[in-house]
Chain A
Amino acid sequence: MQIYVCLKHVPDTAANIKVVEPAGFDESVKFVVNPYDEYGLEEALQIVAKAGGEIVAVTVGKESAVSSLRTALAVGATRGILVKTDAQFLDSAVTARALKAAIAQDGTPDLIFTGKQSVDSEGMQTPYRLAQELDMPVVTEVVDVELGGGQAKVERETGGGMREVMEVSLPCVLGATKGLNEPRYPKLPDILKAKKKEVKQVDMADLGLSDDSGNTGLVELTQIPERSGATMLEGSPREASEKLVAILKEEKAI
């Protein structure tokens, strides 16, 4: 199996994001592998452990994104590819074209994993556009994968506790989400060993692409003010509840 795993290098969700006007942010925060992409990577590791093969981690990002590739190599990915760009917020169609070009240049995928969404720009569409570029079928929000007979049987959550079971022929793009598996974490010796693994770097320009060739543009980023603290409703449970109900009616929330 030749599996490609698309990973985005994103600020840790616990990080305090400070906007730098008009549309940037203070990037000196901790960056990690996009949490949903970890589920894709873990699934790839489990598949390769059974069926054999190679896992190539691919990211489109700044030079610093190499650290996320190293994390993937430390848990067992074979090689890494960085497509270098200067932008953290790239148009999804451009990202998909960059991923496609990097993958096509590298090999022939049997399976491609992504996450269901990136937690910074929350685009929720890169896997669909990547699949279109590669002329492959795609399913996202995948919580179960079973391979066999040249196809994948996958399950996706559709809300309200319902699940859809789908059959999809290989090669395909699968967007992982929580529930698919429990991602492993790298151990120190493996982190050291991962430093020796191969990471290939390509420039966006060398793939014939430019950062600003997309159809969407982020023009402004605004901080959402934190709430400043609760108005406490005093008294017995009964009294506090009565106060709450009165307020909620007043505010037309109920």
Chain B
Amino acid sequence: MARTGILLETDNGEVKAANYGVITAARETGNNEVVGFLMDGSAEAGKAAVQEYGVTSVIEIKAEAGDFKGSPELQANALADALKHYEISALLGLSSTQGRDLMARVAAAMDVPLVLDCVGVTVRDQTVTKSHFSGKTIAKIELEGDVFLCGIRPNAIEPVASAAEATTDVYTASAGDSGRLKVVETKGATSGEIELTEANVIITGGRPIASAENFDILKSCAQELGAAVGASRAAVDAGYAPHAMQVGQTGKTVSPKLYIGCGLSGSVQHFAGMKTSKIIVAINTDKDAPIFTKCDYGILGDLFDVVPALTEVLKEQG
């Protein structure tokens, strides 16, 4: 029986729902003991949610000394120590901004293999699948060695509950850091909006949205859908949306269940960031727009007419 670790991602101390797919992957056929690691938040509080998905122990990681929150190096060294202490042979986590950074630091420090942004993983075979060439191909990669790390793209694996009874523990690492890198400030307000890369549904506006204010049309629809709002580079470059909202090759890579593109031409670079979405819907005024050749459902029409109509219908049907 292999012992698989999960790097549980939290938001203000709460375990994110996006972790459940990762836990499902780690559990495999039920043969793996699944140990959840928390870098932030209490194990006691985190336990309730994750044991529903089969986590058998939840471990809160701390450091004996130093500014744990402000030092990415200290967090990585403490996590690396914990992996050794609990004899973890595979660590799975979310390939989010936080997860990627921490896992890459751990893999580098331990000199063990890591594959990020995986869309599939088979722990017992030590193989993963991931996108190469911005979603144009899928690569199957084998990882060698006694320990490996794997970051999974949010939403890539459907969560399936399988209740277990989890124990809790606190691990206090004696690790230190080099003192050469510290977080001095966190900027920007948490908007309470759904993070693009973790959203199940995304509605995106392109160049014809024409102003920042017009994004409100998409936001109203997003509210009905429980969706996050994205933007094309053309919309970002024109100043209608911040770069954090950009989807595509030079923006975010997303794989929601549903992607609704409003006024997008269907550029290769935009598709590089969202073509692995399960269902793609396009709203466009041009019947010959390239996007209609590479999506699932199309509506020929003006986004300023169609999106409000869609919002109405969603509202009525609850």
A-side interface residues toward B, CB under 8 Å? 11, 13-14, 17, 19, 23, 25, 35-36, 91-93, 119-125, 128-129, 131-132, 136-141, 153, 155, 157-169, 172, 177-179, 214-224, 226-227, 229-234, 236-238, 240-242, 244-245, 247-248, 251, 253-254
Question: Apart from A233-B297, A251-B279, what 6 extra A-B contacts exist at CB < 8 Å?
Answer: A13-B134, A13-B268, A120-B133, A129-B108, A162-B186, A221-B140
Q: Do A122 and B131 form a contact, CB below 8 Å, given A237-B306, A251-B279? A: yes
Indicate if B249 sits at the interface (CB-CB under 8 A). yes
Q: Report how far A211 CA is from B309 CA in the complex, Å.
A: 57
Distance, CA A36 to CA B292, complexed state (A): 29
Interface size class of B (residues with CB under 8 A): 35 or more
Say yes or no: is B34 at the interface (Cβ < 8 Å to chain A): no
- Tell me the B282-318 residues at the A interface (CB within 8 Å): 282, 292-302, 305-306, 308-310, 312-314, 317
Task: Determine the chain A residues whose CB is within 8 A of the CB of B101 once the complex forms.
Answer: 140-141
Q: Which residues of A contact B127 (CB under 8 A)?
A: 219
CB within 8 Å for A131 and B306 given contacts A93-B113, A137-B178, A141-B97: no
* Sampled A-B contacts (16; CB under 8 Å): A35-B250, A119-B249, A124-B116, A129-B107, A165-B184, A165-B185, A178-B246, A218-B140, A221-B140, A224-B275, A232-B297, A233-B297, A237-B306, A244-B281, A251-B279, A253-B258
Q: In the complex, which residue of chain B has the Cβ closest to the Cβ of A178?
A: B250
**Which of B104, B107, B180 touches A172 (beta carbons < 8 Å)?**
B180
Interface set of B (CB-CB < 8 Å, partner A): 73, 95-98, 100-101, 104-105, 107-109, 111-117, 127, 130-145, 148, 178, 180-191, 193, 195-197, 201, 225-226, 242-244, 246, 249-251, 257-258, 268-269, 272, 275-276, 278-282, 292-302, 305-306, 308-310, 312-314, 317
A226→B312 CA distance, assembly (Å): 32
Ordered nearest first, which 10 A-B pairs have the shortest CB separation? A230-B298, A237-B309, A215-B113, A165-B185, A132-B108, A220-B140, A137-B181, A128-B104, A137-B180, A241-B310
Residues of chain A contacted by B280 (CB below 8 angstroms): 227
Q: Which of A122, A178, A221 is in CB contact (< 8 Å) with B243? A: A178
Given the interface pairs A124-B100, A178-B250, the reply to whether A217 lies near B293 with Cβ below 8 Å is no
Instruction: Indicate if the CB atoms of B305 and A237 lie closer than 8 Å.
Output: yes
